[in-house]
A and B are shown apart, each in its own frame.
Chain A
Amino acid sequence: GAGVSQSPRYKVAKRGQDVALRCDPISGHVSLFWYQQALGQGPEFLTYFQNEAQLDKSGLPSDRFFAERPEGSVSTLKIQRTQQEDSAVYLCASSFSGGPMDTQYFGPGTRLTVL
């Protein structure tokens, strides 16, 4: 079956522009996670959804970052007024239930470059 897909795969933005990154999780997966991976680093947790509810957004680095999952499936991560430090790969992962032993399946990521 289809895995987690993300679009676009690459995004170049001028500083100050708004961007929207899309994640299509595996069908039927309840939980959805967003991570930010800077160059040469491991992924860092941003936010977590269970169905349409955003249960944890403690990892969002500023109020310029906003995520939604209005119908409990597709999710969008929006970054307003992008800054150079926002340049990173943004990874989306989904899991069946989100429990501590539940496998998270990652998408290929969106590489954001802010000029």
Chain B
Amino acid sequence: TQLLEQSPQFLSIQEGENLTVYCNSSSVFSSLQWYRQEPGEGPVLLVTVVTGGEVKKLKRLTFQFGDARKDSSLHITAAQPGDTGLYLCAGDSGGGADGLTFGKGTHLIIQP
């Protein structure tokens, strides 16, 4: 069974601070995705990383895929209250028909 562990589970910081959340696994994934989920809504895709060592930037968010394609990180610069939400990483084994394997998520609160 492929498992994704996310840390920290909860994070509360002040507006303007920087933060990094992590997604780790003992398994190799063909791609890894990061989602943000707000209360009462479904997850919304932020980014997909595919190549080991890949770095993608989305405004103040920087995503990195580990060289061995087993782990990933999400760094947010100058966090804003609008960044508040549940951040989920999800791995795709590449089979297409298996669905995604999700971590338990990081609950992020940005206080004004």
- Contacts from A to B (Cβ < 8 Å): 4, 33, 35, 40-48, 50, 55-56, 58-59, 91, 93, 98-109
Closest to A107 in B: B42
Q: Given the complex, which residues of A lie within 8 Å of B90, measured CB to CB?
A: 42
Q: Given the complex, which residues of A lie within 8 Å of B97, measured CB to CB?
A: 48, 50, 55-56, 98
CB distance from A42 to the nearest CB of B (A): 3
Instruction: Say whether B24 faces chain A, with CB atoms less than 8 Å apart.
Output: no
Q: A43-B102, A101-B50 are in contact. List 16 more A-B contacts (CB 8 A).
A: A33-B99, A35-B99, A35-B102, A43-B100, A45-B98, A45-B99, A45-B100, A45-B101, A50-B97, A59-B99, A98-B96, A100-B30, A100-B95, A101-B48, A104-B45, A107-B42
A43 is contacted by which of B31, B43, B92 (Cβ under 8 Å)?
B43
Closest to A4 in B: B42
Question: Once the chains are docked, how many angstroms separate the CA of A102 from the CA of B94?
Answer: 11
Question: What is the predominant secondary structure among interface residues of chain B facing chain A?
Answer: loop
CB distance from A88 to the nearest CB of B (A): 13
Known A-B contacts A42-B105, A100-B94; A106 and B43 likewise in contact (beta carbons under 8 Å): yes
Closest to A38 in B: B104
- Contacts from B to A (Cβ < 8 Å): 4, 6, 30-31, 40-45, 48, 50, 88, 90, 92, 94-105
Known A-B contacts A43-B43, A108-B42; A101 and B99 likewise in contact (beta carbons under 8 Å): no
Question: Once the chains are docked, how many angstroms separate the CA of A91 from the CA of B99?
Answer: 12
Q: Given the complex, which residues of B lie within 8 Å of A101, measured CB to CB?
A: 31, 48, 50
Q: Given the complex, which residues of A lie within 8 Å of B30, measured CB to CB?
A: 100
CB distance from B51 to the nearest CB of A (A): 12
Q: Given the complex, which residues of B lie within 8 Å of A106, measured CB to CB?
A: 42-44
Q: Given the complex, which residues of B lie within 8 Å of A102, measured CB to CB?
A: 96
CB distance from B64 to the nearest CB of A (A): 18
6 of the cross-chain contacts (CB-CB < 8 Å) are A33-B99, A46-B99, A56-B99, A101-B48, A102-B96, A109-B42
